[in-house]
Amino acid sequence: MTGQGRLSSSRQALLTVSIVLVVAAIGGWALVATKAKEPAGPPAAASGTTKASGPTKPGGAGRAASAPAKDSATFSLDWVGDMTFGTLNDWPADGTGSLIATMKPYLHSDLTVGNLESALGDLPMSKCSPHEKDCYQFEAPSYTAKDLKRDGFAAVNVANNHTLDAGPAGEVSTDRALRAAGLQWAGRPGQITYLIRNGIKIALLGFAPWSYDADALDIPAAEALVRKAKQHAQVVIVMEHLGGEGDDYRHVKPGEEYFLGQDRGNSIAFTHGVIDAGADLVMGSGPHVLRGFQWYRGHLIAYSLGNFCGYDTLGLDAYTSVSAILHVTLNAKGQFVKGSITPLRLVAPGVPEHDPDRTAVSYINSLSRQDFSGNGVVRISAAGTIKKH
């Protein structure tokens, strides 16, 4: 090969290297430009984001939108007892929301929940036969769901003995009203409702002793549903609607409770069973009176908060008029951080008011001592603070 040939080859090699470097530079610039133009991903879910209500499948609608929260994260919860708003078109003239409007300052948690003991809609009620005694049926306008949302509620329990007051159509109407208002709900058969608060994924479940609800009489099935929820949520909260009704049923006793010929469940077996299965907090309604609170394996059970509101529908005697709001803070492991109650008293025609006499504190303390002495009795200070176990 001649010298000229060698020079040409060198020039060719140099030219080749130059082209490679230019291409690489252009390619690198293009890569940077492409990355700069990539659209941003969807914004992170806010702490108040909720997941769809209804039966959920693992990895489906109930999947958390973000990584599990740190153990130090917490969320606050408010729970109230039974809520009715009237019946047979007999509703407050100022709207159903007027019954609880004065309670809004006390409902300021990350997750406020109560027991909706009423169908929502404008349908003929069908549960009670004409002239049937000891049968009660409740219905409220669909806009009641929006009133609840406005006054601070995020979710309701729908598992109770008034689920079918307006028949299956009333059940559909109730779900439609809740969905339109942006309220979550729990308590239908097989239903697990997932929500996220402060990065913590929470499962809500509701139970009552009827087959048209998530059935509290089938304790093994309830435990299985709780275990399923625990697989997909950091914290599991159970709402139960159990027990007889009225003054004679203030005490929580072992065994089945019967009322009006109906099996109203075994409150102790049920609540302890779902905690054994993974529930972190159990909140109760149904007896229409306050019941005692209990610690079980370090978890709080509030067996009944009594009546929260009831327009011309609920009793207002010395026991049925006394009520409370439960305030609880839990961490990402479901552990109790702190808690308290706000004492209430219902006044005619069924409107809740703050009780300056704080009667609920003495009632709950007395019932807790009598029913659970030596077995997880809960103590509440005069100021309403729940003393840690």
Q: Where are the domains of the chain?
A: 1-38, 74-372
How far, in Å, CA of 24 to CA of 29, rounded?
A: 8
Closest CA to 96 of 321, 349, 359, 322: 349
pLDDT at 66: 54
Residue tagged 């806010």 (tokens): 46
Residue 232 CA, chain-centre distance (Å), reads 16
- Taking CA atoms, 165 is separated from 81, 129, 135, 160, 267, in Å, by 19, 11, 10, 10, 24
How far, in Å, CA of 214 to CA of 15, rounded?
A: 78
- Structure tokens belonging to residue 232: 């997909």
* 74-372 CATH fold: Purple Acid Phosphatase; chain A, domain 2 (3.60.21)
- CB count within 10 Å of CB 259 equals 18
How far, in Å, CA of 83 to CA of 263, rounded?
A: 22
CA dihedral 374, 221, 305, 127 (to 10 degrees): -140
Average pLDDT of adjacent 10-residue blocks, the chain of 389 residues: 37 38 36 31 33 37 53 94 88 90 94 96 84 85 95 97 92 97 98 98 98 97 98 98 96 96 97 98 97 98 97 91 98 98 96 97 98 95 95
SS3 of residue 313 by DSSP? coil
